[in-house]
Amino acid sequence: MAGTRIKLDPEAVEAIARRVVVLLEESGLRRRELVGAAELARRLGVDRSWIYTHAIELGAVKLGDGPRARLRFDPEIAERSLRKLGDGSAPDPPARSVERADRALWMRRPEVKLLPVERPDGENTPQAA
């Protein structure tokens, strides 16, 4: 039997490959979808900074070796982790839009008229109302 070679035609190779894929999918192995922090934050409804703060708990995958290597997340793993965080063992994540909405309202506020306040040296200086 040593030295015996079997040659498969391309259709047989394709059939074997398709069967391997089916078996892997049936056994629970699948191709993982990895997304960035911004996309994960959008899906979970939290701020991107919260994602980075909890990257380890959310199952972050580091791409590269450098100090600023990109992080990617499997959304299914992150959602499971978020449910565990939400079972009382960790504080709830902050809502994404609250801080941004407050900041946006502050930036669009109408000009505030200032009242003159007398300084100890006798000069008038406008101060915020």
* Domain span including residue 88: 33-109
Strand 124-127 with 115-118, pairing? antiparallel
* Domains: count for the chain: 1
Residue 93 lies in a domain: yes
Q: The domain spanning residue 37 has which CATH number?
A: 1.10.10
- CB-count burial class (<10 Å; 0-12, 13-18, 19+) for 51: buried
- Compute φ and ψ for 79, nearest 5 degrees: -65, -40
For residue 129, the model assigns a pLDDT of 46
Express each pLDDT in 25-46 by its tens digit. Answer: 777 666 678 999 999 999 989 9
Express each pLDDT in 53-109 by its tens digit. Answer: 999 999 998 888 888 889 999 998 899 888 887 765 555 555 544 445 455 544 555
Two structure tokens written together for 28: 């629970």
Residue 87 lies in a domain: yes
Residue 94 lies in a domain: yes
